[in-house]
Chain A
């Protein structure tokens, strides 16, 4: 167990370093984009005078390194700062959006992960059958289409023609839990369709890989039923690669949903991120990137820890 604690500590330290580097890169990138916040927000009305007045008010007239280190210093002390545009506390601005994004990701994960693993196990069980081929064709086609296309097809069928679900995900705090789930259904289905194939194929491949090993042969010779062989003997040993791909897909569900959020007008983090880059609202861009980066770092860590725990041999190295 101490092995794991040490690993977690090491990885967290590295994660912090990663976050620092990312914040630096993002800051430099936004700095290199043409135009600045004041020009972006004032648009056609940006005369040199108004831009100068705006910069002075926001402290944007200071040299870049000074601004970066002030930001970093505050950040370390837990002060995320304020959005340049709305002057709102970032924790308040981001909290609600992050909550929404995580909500959508969770709903999608709750549908997608059991579905993908079940489909994968069944595909391994009935390898090369009609079912195996059909499920492969369907999931591979859905992953091959761009997300927005899948989204539009779902809207056309489920919202326009059948009228079962709303075409836009207008969610807010005042709604009850089930109403929220209902309004999140279409984006969640879209994400499910887009990420099931990857997980399903990995599950299938990992199990099929093991089916050739001697202990499975032994089990078969003992006369066990194929279902039991796969669930009891093969699946536990195939967990490590499956966990890896599942967790990577979860990271995708959190950070890769910008297009889906736009199509369904879902008030999540991705939409905010895009808007903030466009208006050069550096504090918001920084905070969003850090959240995304943190999601990746933490989920990767989780994947490693879980794989190790699922494999006693890795847990007790000699």
Chain B
């Protein structure tokens, strides 16, 4: 992307932030006008901006009825077993974390008031916010935080967050309102990790036993009824510590797994918002009066990994030829019906902090594909591509499209249709070339460490690159942001140019709500439904 446009984006971002400030009544009209006009906006436009921002100020009240695509009868209030969007959303409504990824994608303190790292990023000190009360009236202190973290650690932990906290070697309180984490290696992303939905802060007793059973937290909503996989009800926490969040008086959270039922419920006014629209019919839903459809690009993406240590994929020219032989735009139009963005053969999304926008977008280029074929010393190439709709809806169709696109470059792709049952245990990581989806990770280090680091369990392309690994370890402990950015940019370039993974598409989160529901101009893309924090961020206009 050219420099000047980036500058423009920066301005847009600032205006968005200003609008937010105006909405939160943290900036006066005079300040707003002078700043915005200084950015090159006309006075008239600035004035309209001001009034529309203030009018859109959040209002308290109403009963939010949320229809979620996710949620099982097996869900519990135990955050170590959270595994779907429904329960994650409710977890974020009931409880808080040391840090939070806000609606702009920036990391901000939540139950902490700030944090500091040692120079090598191996020791992190979190200062806790003072006077925050749990729903049961107990004041949150260091013991609660330490116990909540320890709940996921230790030999007998069955927590999905166990690997996240594996680098923590020592965890101790420094007075009543400071918590110190000592890590086995430097990790500049540690404050991001504690915002993970598993690592909620729960009340603990003196022996360090946390109480997850009651659902008591510090969050914006207090649990009333919890019938997992069916319906839960919440009421507003009158003592919520966060300003400008938690606007609904009541919340009714319904699990409606069937997409048609969910859509019907929204269009007939039985619910106020729903997650996961049906992409096949969403254009019709958009036409419906009283309903608005929202889209956010997240980290969810599809990959087509080749085993880089297996012929013919061990030759980078073959990999490049295959990367150029796919028309991503067509895939975007047919498989996602336009609800996504094309991928650039690396797993870092525009929703990530360090997305490398300078990298030229790879496109369908038969000349380049043929050039790389020639470089590889091949006139024709025949490869098997394994696919099943277990990978993602439309994976088989995508494979067939790929076959047609590649045929024009003299590459013969033989689509092998695999059974959906057992796809993840029998095909993924086993077959040399197959279709895969990734939920994606909000943190670059996590994404690279899990999918591309040498020896990682889920290194689906058997990628092994010396410089890449050097950078991975260095960037993890680098606290200087510009330096880190440069490293992650280089890593994305390495994967783009030499990696074994074709990343054709990033899918959007597509959700819908009644037009009475309002939200901040920018919504978070780290998870579905405004970072799964819609219950405390949205309001009725």
The answer to whether A and B interact is: yes
Name A residues whose Cβ lies closer than 8 Å to a Cβ of B. 34, 38, 41-43, 45, 47, 49-50, 53-54, 56-57, 83, 85-87, 96, 152, 155, 159-160, 163, 166-168, 170, 172, 262-265, 267, 271-272, 275-276, 278-279, 281, 284
In the assembled complex, the CB of B379 is this many whole angstroms from the nearest CB of chain A, namely 42
- Say which size band chain B's interface belongs to: 35 or more
> Given A42-B81, A47-B163 in contact, is the A166-B158 Cβ separation under 8 Å?
no
Q: CA–CA, A3 to B16, complex, Å?
A: 84
Contact A57 B158 (CB under 8 A): yes
In the assembled complex, the CB of A40 is this many whole angstroms from the nearest CB of chain B, namely 8
Which of A43, A267, A284 is in CB contact (< 8 Å) with B227?
A267
Q: CA–CA, A277 to B520, complex, Å?
A: 40
Please indicate the chain A residues that have their CB under 8 angstroms from the CB of B298 in the complex.
none
Verify if B230 is at the interface (C-beta below 8 Å from A).
yes
Contact A50 B158 (CB under 8 A): yes
> Given A167-B265, A170-B254 in contact, is the A85-B270 Cβ separation under 8 Å?
no
Verify if B258 is at the interface (C-beta below 8 Å from A).
yes
> Given A160-B264, A265-B265 in contact, is the A53-B157 Cβ separation under 8 Å?
yes
Verify if B261 is at the interface (C-beta below 8 Å from A).
yes
Residue of A whose beta carbon sits closest to that of B83: A43
Residue of A whose beta carbon sits closest to that of B157: A53
Which of B75, B159, B230 is in CB contact (< 8 Å) with A50?
B159
Q: CA–CA, A279 to B268, complex, Å?
A: 32
Contact A168 B156 (CB under 8 A): no
Which of B83, B225, B255, B260 is in CB contact (< 8 Å) with A45?
B83
Which of A86, A96, A276 is in CB contact (< 8 Å) with B76?
A86
Verify if B287 is at the interface (C-beta below 8 Å from A).
no
Q: What are 29 A-B pairs at a CB distance below 8 A?
A: A41-B74, A41-B81, A41-B83, A42-B83, A45-B83, A50-B160, A53-B155, A53-B158, A57-B156, A83-B74, A85-B74, A86-B74, A87-B76, A96-B227, A160-B267, A166-B270, A167-B265, A167-B267, A170-B254, A170-B270, A262-B258, A263-B258, A263-B260, A275-B73, A275-B229, A276-B73, A279-B72, A279-B74, A281-B74
Please indicate the chain B residues that have their CB under 8 angstroms from the CB of A159 in the complex.
264, 268
Please indicate the chain A residues that have their CB under 8 angstroms from the CB of B225 in the complex.
172
Which of A54, A265, A284 is in CB contact (< 8 Å) with B254?
A265
Q: CA–CA, A96 to B228, complex, Å?
A: 12
Instruction: Give the total number of A-B pairs whose CB atoms are below 8 A apart.
Output: 104
B402-431: contact bitstring with A at CB < 8 Å (1 yes, 0 no)?
Answer: 000000000000000000001000000000
In the assembled complex, the CB of B289 is this many whole angstroms from the nearest CB of chain A, namely 13
Contact B256 A167 (CB under 8 A): no
Task: Tell me the B67-116 residues at the A interface (CB within 8 Å).
Answer: 72-76, 81, 83
Verify if B231 is at the interface (C-beta below 8 Å from A).
yes
Contact A267 B74 (CB under 8 A): no
Please indicate the chain A residues that have their CB under 8 angstroms from the CB of B422 in the complex.
34
Q: CA–CA, A172 to B230, complex, Å?
A: 10
Contact A86 B228 (CB under 8 A): yes
Q: CA–CA, A275 to B157, complex, Å?
A: 25
Q: CA–CA, A285 to B534, complex, Å?
A: 34
In the assembled complex, the CB of B253 is this many whole angstroms from the nearest CB of chain A, namely 11
Verify if B236 is at the interface (C-beta below 8 Å from A).
no
A-B contact sample (18 more), CB < 8 A, given A56-B156, A86-B76, A159-B268: A34-B422, A42-B83, A45-B83, A47-B162, A54-B158, A57-B158, A86-B75, A96-B227, A163-B268, A167-B261, A167-B265, A167-B267, A265-B265, A267-B230, A267-B231, A275-B229, A278-B72, A284-B73
> Given A41-B83, A86-B228 in contact, is the A275-B264 Cβ separation under 8 Å?
no
Please indicate the chain A residues that have their CB under 8 angstroms from the CB of B35 in the complex.
none
Verify if B257 is at the interface (C-beta below 8 Å from A).
yes
Contact A152 B260 (CB under 8 A): yes
Which of B156, B229, B255, B267 is in CB contact (< 8 Å) with A53?
B156
> Given A45-B160, A163-B268, A166-B268 in contact, is the A265-B261 Cβ separation under 8 Å?
yes
Please indicate the chain B residues that have their CB under 8 angstroms from the CB of A264 in the complex.
261
Contact B157 A168 (CB under 8 A): no
Residue of B whose beta carbon sits closest to that of A34: B422
5 A-B pairs with the lowest CB-CB distances in the bound complex, closest first: A45-B160, A85-B74, A167-B264, A54-B158, A275-B73
Task: Tell me the B36-92 residues at the A interface (CB within 8 Å).
Answer: 72-76, 81, 83
Q: Which of A49, A85, A152 has the most CB of B within 10 A?
A: A85
Residue of B whose beta carbon sits closest to that of A43: B83
Please indicate the chain A residues that have their CB under 8 angstroms from the CB of B230 in the complex.
267
Q: CA–CA, A96 to B256, complex, Å?
A: 18
Please indicate the chain B residues that have their CB under 8 angstroms from the CB of A160 in the complex.
264, 267-268
Q: CA–CA, A267 to B162, complex, Å?
A: 34
Residue of A whose beta carbon sits closest to that of B77: A86
Residue of A whose beta carbon sits closest to that of B84: A43
Please indicate the chain B residues that have their CB under 8 angstroms from the CB of A284 in the complex.
73
Contact A168 B74 (CB under 8 A): no
> Given A86-B228, A265-B254, A265-B261 in contact, is the A167-B270 Cβ separation under 8 Å?
yes
Contact B257 A262 (CB under 8 A): yes
Please indicate the chain A residues that have their CB under 8 angstroms from the CB of B229 in the complex.
271-272, 275
Contact B257 A167 (CB under 8 A): no
Q: CA–CA, A289 to B373, complex, Å?
A: 59
Residue of B whose beta carbon sits closest to that of A173: B225
Please indicate the chain A residues that have their CB under 8 angstroms from the CB of B267 in the complex.
160, 167
In the assembled complex, the CB of A79 is this many whole angstroms from the nearest CB of chain B, namely 21
Please indicate the chain A residues that have their CB under 8 angstroms from the CB of B76 in the complex.
85-87
Residue of A whose beta carbon sits closest to that of B265: A168
Please indicate the chain A residues that have their CB under 8 angstroms from the CB of B81 in the complex.
41-42
Contact A85 B157 (CB under 8 A): no
Residue of B whose beta carbon sits closest to that of A53: B158
Contact A50 B157 (CB under 8 A): yes
Residue of A whose beta carbon sits closest to that of B422: A34
Q: CA–CA, A264 to B225, complex, Å?
A: 21
> Given A86-B228, A275-B73 in contact, is the A168-B158 Cβ separation under 8 Å?
no
In the assembled complex, the CB of B285 is this many whole angstroms from the nearest CB of chain A, namely 12
Q: CA–CA, A278 to B71, complex, Å?
A: 13
Which of B73, B156, B159, B255 is in CB contact (< 8 Å) with A85?
B73
Q: Which of A49, A57, A281 has the most CB of B within 10 A?
A: A49
Contact A265 B256 (CB under 8 A): yes
Q: CA–CA, A284 to B261, complex, Å?
A: 26
Please indicate the chain A residues that have their CB under 8 angstroms from the CB of B155 in the complex.
53
